[in-house]
Structure 1
Amino acid sequence: MSIENRLAELGITLPDAPAPAANYVPFAQSGNLIFISGQISADENGLIIGKLGENMETEAGAAAARRCGLALIAQLKAVTGSLDKVKRVVKLSGFVNSTPDFTEQPKVINGCSDLMVEIFGDAGRHARAAVSAPSLPLGVAVEIEAIFEVE
């Protein structure tokens, strides 16, 4: 089954690939690896702002991380033209806007990790970092960058 068919089967619509907000490119490719710049948590209503452990619960953070994952996949599709060229998700690096005593960063970033496996199956399993940050750009709850291997 193609990835496009898989997305349709799951009822997932990708957002438009976000434009860079500063002096950087949305991706860089080296050989068969595509490095997608950090995607911040946003949905159709705008930025998802919050600080985990202060004014946002873990489940809401995981939903924000899922939105980052959708943006990562949208960027990847813009680069490759077809998600069927994806051989595997290599690595995710997730940053969680959280208080010093918040310790559920892995549960938050699971929102993105689970999405990758849901869409790409075993090829979606990846290495990962899930770390806390005292603040993130524009006050967003989550930012995630990714490395993908393509054909």
Structure 2
Amino acid sequence: MPQFFGPVKDDYDLTEAKKAAEMCALNLLFNIRQAAGSLDNVVSVLRLGAFVAAPSGFPDGPKIADGASELFINLFGESGRHARTAVCVSSLPANALVEVDAIVEIKAG
């Protein structure tokens, strides 16, 4: 399993950085499945937050966050479309490149 460390460097590869956000989203989906019992119980993705470790003035944080957003939309279709914040920060825990959180609506059990 690849590991992605931050902060973003000047010669970064957008495709690889988006994979880091996608990996975060996959980890999040694992936890959502645990909480919901099944991903079939997800009604909608309401909000996604992405944090990208990057130097001051870095403009592409939202482009990197697209890796997570695109995964949710591809998996859940229109129900995966969400409000989103994507911000750059000077550092993240464990020297991560990206961190993602989400708020999802789950069917009442």
TM exceeding 0.5: yes
Check the 8 A contact 1:77/1:83 in 2, yes or no. Answer: yes
Distance of 1:99 and 1:63 partners within structure 2: 19
Secondary structure at the counterpart of residue 138 of structure 1 = helix
Unaligned residue ranges in structure 2 (runs of 5+) = none
Runs of 4 or more, structure 1, over 6 Å off, are none
Instruction: Give the aligned partner of residue 102 of structure 1.
Output: 58
* 1:116-131 correspondence to structure 2 within 5 Å: 116-131=72-87
Aligned length: 107
Check the 8 A contact 1:54/1:98 in 2, yes or no. Answer: no
Unaligned residue ranges in structure 1 (runs of 5+) = 1-43
Distance of 1:114 and 1:106 partners within structure 2: 12
Letter in 1 for 2:57: D
Shift of the alpha carbon at 1:49?
0.8
Q: CA RMSD in A?
A: 1.3
Shift of the alpha carbon at 1:55?
5.7
Check the 8 A contact 1:65/1:143 in 2, yes or no. Answer: yes
Instruction: Give the aligned partner of residue 4 of structure 2.
Output: 48
Check the 8 A contact 2:6/2:95 in 1, yes or no. Answer: yes
Distance of 1:56 and 1:141 partners within structure 2: 11
Greater relative contact order: 1 or 2 (C-alpha under 8 angstroms, separation 6 or more)?
2
* 1:1-151 correspondence to structure 2 within 5 Å: 44-45=1-2, 47-54=3-10, 56-151=12-107
Distance of 1:90 and 1:147 partners within structure 2: 6
Letter in 1 for 2:16: A
Distance of 2:12 and 2:58 partners within structure 1: 11
The structure with the largest helix share of the pair is 2
Distance of 2:77 and 2:34 partners within structure 1: 21
TM-score by structure 2 length? 0.92
